[in-house]
Amino acid sequence: MIHDLLERWLREAGYVVAASGARGDVKPALVIADCPEPQGADALIRSLQEMYSAPILVLSARFRRGLAGSAEAALRLGVKKVLPKPFTRKELLAAVRDSVAT
Protein backbone atom coordinates (compact mmCIF):
# COMPACT_ATOMS: atom_id res chain seq x y z
CA MET A 1 0.00 0.00 0.00
CA ILE A 2 2.85 2.42 0.87
CA HIS A 3 4.61 1.57 -2.40
CA ASP A 4 1.47 2.52 -4.35
CA LEU A 5 1.12 5.78 -2.43
CA LEU A 6 4.75 6.78 -3.05
CA GLU A 7 4.41 5.88 -6.71
CA ARG A 8 1.26 8.02 -7.01
CA TRP A 9 2.89 10.99 -5.25
CA LEU A 10 5.92 10.80 -7.53
CA ARG A 11 3.86 10.44 -10.71
CA GLU A 12 1.61 13.35 -9.70
CA ALA A 13 4.75 15.46 -9.24
CA GLY A 14 5.81 14.62 -12.80
CA TYR A 15 8.39 11.90 -12.13
CA VAL A 16 8.61 8.74 -14.22
CA VAL A 17 8.51 5.72 -11.93
CA ALA A 18 9.99 2.38 -13.01
CA ALA A 19 8.59 -0.87 -11.68
CA SER A 20 10.08 -2.13 -8.46
CA GLY A 21 13.09 -4.31 -9.20
CA ALA A 22 13.29 -3.16 -12.84
CA ARG A 23 16.60 -3.86 -14.51
CA GLY A 24 17.88 -4.09 -18.03
CA ASP A 25 18.05 -0.80 -19.88
CA VAL A 26 16.56 1.19 -17.01
CA LYS A 27 18.82 4.12 -16.15
CA PRO A 28 17.12 5.78 -13.18
CA ALA A 29 17.89 9.28 -12.01
CA LEU A 30 17.26 8.08 -8.43
CA VAL A 31 16.82 4.78 -6.61
CA ILE A 32 14.51 4.79 -3.58
CA ALA A 33 15.02 1.92 -1.13
CA ASP A 34 13.15 1.02 2.03
CA CYS A 35 15.44 -0.22 4.82
CA PRO A 36 13.58 -1.75 7.75
CA GLU A 37 16.86 -2.00 9.71
CA PRO A 38 19.54 0.52 8.58
CA GLN A 39 22.26 -1.18 10.64
CA GLY A 40 21.99 -4.22 8.36
CA ALA A 41 21.43 -2.30 5.14
CA ASP A 42 25.01 -2.51 3.84
CA ALA A 43 24.36 -5.52 1.58
CA LEU A 44 21.21 -3.98 0.07
CA ILE A 45 22.91 -0.64 -0.57
CA ARG A 46 25.99 -2.29 -2.08
CA SER A 47 23.84 -4.34 -4.46
CA LEU A 48 21.89 -1.23 -5.53
CA GLN A 49 25.15 0.67 -6.09
CA GLU A 50 26.42 -2.20 -8.27
CA MET A 51 23.19 -2.27 -10.33
CA TYR A 52 22.68 1.47 -10.73
CA SER A 53 24.91 4.49 -10.98
CA ALA A 54 22.12 6.72 -9.67
CA PRO A 55 21.99 8.36 -6.24
CA ILE A 56 20.12 6.41 -3.57
CA LEU A 57 17.43 7.74 -1.23
CA VAL A 58 16.85 5.42 1.73
CA LEU A 59 13.60 5.39 3.70
CA SER A 60 13.33 3.91 7.20
CA ALA A 61 11.34 4.26 10.39
CA ARG A 62 14.62 3.74 12.26
CA PHE A 63 16.18 7.06 11.23
CA ARG A 64 16.09 9.95 13.65
CA ARG A 65 14.29 13.07 12.62
CA GLY A 66 16.30 16.21 12.12
CA LEU A 67 18.91 17.39 9.68
CA ALA A 68 21.98 16.27 11.62
CA GLY A 69 20.71 12.74 12.26
CA SER A 70 19.65 12.24 8.65
CA ALA A 71 22.86 13.66 7.17
CA GLU A 72 24.93 11.51 9.50
CA ALA A 73 22.98 8.36 8.57
CA ALA A 74 23.33 9.10 4.84
CA LEU A 75 27.08 9.54 5.19
CA ARG A 76 27.42 6.34 7.24
CA LEU A 77 25.38 4.35 4.69
CA GLY A 78 27.11 5.89 1.67
CA VAL A 79 23.88 7.16 0.11
CA LYS A 80 22.75 10.56 -1.13
CA LYS A 81 19.99 11.09 1.42
CA VAL A 82 17.87 9.36 4.05
CA LEU A 83 14.26 10.10 4.91
CA PRO A 84 12.82 9.07 8.29
CA LYS A 85 9.33 7.57 8.37
CA PRO A 86 6.67 8.70 8.73
CA PHE A 87 6.97 11.48 6.19
CA THR A 88 4.62 13.70 4.27
CA ARG A 89 4.23 14.06 0.53
CA LYS A 90 6.01 17.40 0.76
CA GLU A 91 8.96 15.85 2.65
CA LEU A 92 9.25 13.00 0.14
CA LEU A 93 9.26 15.33 -2.86
CA ALA A 94 11.82 17.61 -1.19
CA ALA A 95 14.07 14.61 -0.49
CA VAL A 96 13.72 13.45 -4.10
CA ARG A 97 14.57 16.93 -5.41
CA ASP A 98 17.59 17.17 -3.10
CA SER A 99 18.75 13.69 -4.08
CA VAL A 100 18.71 14.27 -7.84
CA ALA A 101 20.16 17.78 -7.66
CA THR A 102 23.82 17.95 -8.61
For the whole prediction, is pTM greater than 0.85?
no
Q: What is the mean pLDDT of residues 20-49?
A: 80
* Cα(12)–Cα(78) distance, integer angstroms: 29
Predicted local distance difference test score (pLDDT) of residue 21:
59
Torsion of CA 90, 96, 98, 102, to 10 degrees: -150
Neighbours of 84 (CB within 10 A): 19
Assign domain 2-9+29-100 one CATH number from 1.10.10.60, 3.40.50.2300, 2.60.120.620, 3.20.10.10: 3.40.50.2300
Write down the mean pLDDT value for the chain. 84
What residue ranges do the domains of the chain occupy? Answer: 2-9+29-100
